Amino acid sequence: MARGDVETVSKNGQWVNRVEGEAELSQGYASKEEAVEEGARLAAETGARHTVRDAPATGVVTDEQESDEGESSGDDVIDVEDLP
């Protein structure tokens, strides 16, 4: 990566925009969508390259499932160790 390039990555469950050589411009975000949007904006603003690196699969289900009534239910979470 060249100085000023923006890289969007997942770090411990938080999405982060890292700016090569300019740590003061790096920021964290609660969602991937927000981080990607802001990373693209920052890269366009500075004329830099923007790269998005997907988070590695951990095998842990993190999204809550919705029941038919539209309410969140934790009953559908399956531990991958319990799978055949």
pLDDT of residue 7: 95
C-alpha span between 49 and 8 (Å, rounded) = 11
Alpha-carbon span 57 to 66, nearest angstrom: 22
What is the pLDDT tens value at each position of the chain, 84 positions in all?
Answer: 889 999 999 988 889 999 999 999 899 999 999 999 999 999 999 999 999 998 776 666 655 555 455 554 444 444 445 444
- According to the model, what pLDDT value does residue 15 have? 94
pLDDT, residue 61, reads: 61
DSSP secondary structure string for all residues of 20-64: TT-GGG-EEESSHHHHHHHHHHHHHHHT--EEE-PPPP-S---SP
Rounded Cα distance between 29 and 52, Å, is 14
Domain spans in the chain, listed from the N-terminal domain onward = 1-55
